[in-house]
Structure 1
Amino acid sequence: MGKEGQANESLRECIDLLTPMMQQLPPDINPYLCAILEAQERHDWLGVADGIEYEVLKLISKLDV
């Protein structure tokens, strides 16, 4: 939609929010984070959004934070 800058800023904010939780995140989140970063490098914004929405949020929702 031509909002790459805004999407990157939102992703940065998401990463900033995740950083304090990194020690609590399960190790099985790593492949999902790598896939999201790879999707970002390919400019596959739908892949980035899907990875966050369907994989990362599912794992984070299980945390007791």
Structure 2
Amino acid sequence: MADNKQLKVTLVRSKHGRLKNHQDCLRGLGIRRIHRTVLVNDTPENRGMINKVSYLLKVEEA
């Protein structure tokens, strides 16, 4: 199935001192520590969270 695309998301800037809902977006994506990469499904919900905190992340297609 071609719709099982995933994204590699890496936290490149600290989440400390950020808005609470931005920290919640990172938690929802499963990102815990800086310079760690997680794989997330490419869904509209995940894209929305990624767009909200894009200034903290590096995103690549997996």
Q: TM-score, length-normalised on structure 1? A: 0.42
- Considering only CA atoms, is the larger Rg found in Structure 1 or Structure 2? 1
TM-score scaled to structure 2, two decimals? 0.43
Question: Between Structure 1 and Structure 2, which shows a larger proportion of strand residues?
Answer: 2
Higher relative contact order (CA 8 A, sep 6+): 2
